[in-house]
Amino acid sequence: MELKNLTTFHIGGRAQHFYIVNSIVELQERLEYIRAKKMKYYVLGSGSNILVHDQTLKGVVIKLGPGFAKIQKKGNSLFVGGAVTIPKLLSYCRANNLAGAEFLWGIPGTMGGAVKGNAGTKDKSISRIIKSLTGISGLGKIERFPVEKILFTYRGSNIGDIFIITEVELALHKSSKRVISTNTNKYRQLRDQQPKGYSAGCIFKNPSGQSAGALIEFAGLKGRISGGAVVSPKHANFIINRNGRAKAKDVWELINLIRRTVEQTSDIKLELEIKTWGEFK
């Protein structure tokens, strides 16, 4: 499987092994096999926050299939499968007059990825609407955590890379179509200021009290090109795969250039917000 076709960057080599799983039992069987073979595994959601290297990715890429893409309302909770995408969640909420998740508008990820990375805007993160989450550990054990047991940080959490989130319980509230659409429009406007094209969203985390985009612009790197990749002239914290043919190494060169230059111009070490899969030096 070409991972290029499964990432929003449109970059990445083949996965050595690729499994789509549709039930807990199937997932546990696969994990048992992976453990027995001592292989490394990666969990793929929407591929919207990763840079995958250009070579074959050794090990297994696991993707949750439609079996994990259900949404169910029970009492005051909404149970959302790990493979449900944020756009799908938001259209369910609109159709059922449920408010509280509008700030996630424009994020392409799956629930699993969004929760692990505590996705959101500058001032609101998904952790604030989570009640609990359920998933499978590397040892194949089903575990459920109330939100209080998880440490969420700015664009991160202490949920390990190999923990597979299968379901998330959300706390949303009843509202009206009018309120939901007013809130949605506010967040749509924010996202409209961001560049289009193949990308992985923001590349770096915002250093405390600062904006990575502004620092990169100040370093004079807007529009800088490496092979098929460019530092977006619209928002400098985005790297765009210009022609769909950029390589991971092009993006990595820009990442290194940005880090070096921003350290020289602002004395700040930028930290990656995206994840990398494979080898990058």
Among 122, 148, 192, 264, binds ligand EPU (CB under 6 A): 122
- 141-200: which residues touch ligand EPU (CB under 6 A)? 155, 190, 193
Among 61, 170, 202, 246, binds ligand EPU (CB under 6 A): 202
Strands (E), the chain: 15-21, 41-44, 50-52, 57-64, 71-74, 77-81, 98-99, 130-136, 142-146, 152-153, 156-157, 164-171, 173-174, 225-226, 229-231, 239-241, 275-277
Q: At 170, list the tokens.
A: 């959300």
Instruction: Quote the least distance from Cβ 115 to ligand EPU, whole Å.
Output: 14
Residue 211, SS3? Answer: coil
User: Per CB under 6 A, does 272 bind ligand EPU?
Assistant: no
CA dist 206 → 43, 57, 202, 218 (Å): 25, 29, 9, 14
**Which CB sits closer to ligand EPU, 193 or 208?**
193
Q: Which one of 23-31, 125-133, 203-211, 240-248 is the stretch in contact with ligand EPU (CB under 6 A)? A: 203-211
Residue 82: partners with Cβ closer than 8 Å, 6 or more residues away: 45, 64, 68, 110, 111, 112, 135, 164, 165, 166, 167, 168
Quick note: the x/- pattern for ligand EPU over 208-247, rule CB under 6 A, is ---xxxx--x-----------------xxx----------
Number of residues near ligand EPU (by CB under 6 A) = 18
Q: Which residue, 16 or 121, is less far from ligand EPU as judged by CB?
A: 121
Catalog residues that contact ligand EPU under the rule CB under 6 A. 121-122, 155, 190, 193, 201-202, 205-206, 211-214, 217, 235-237, 273
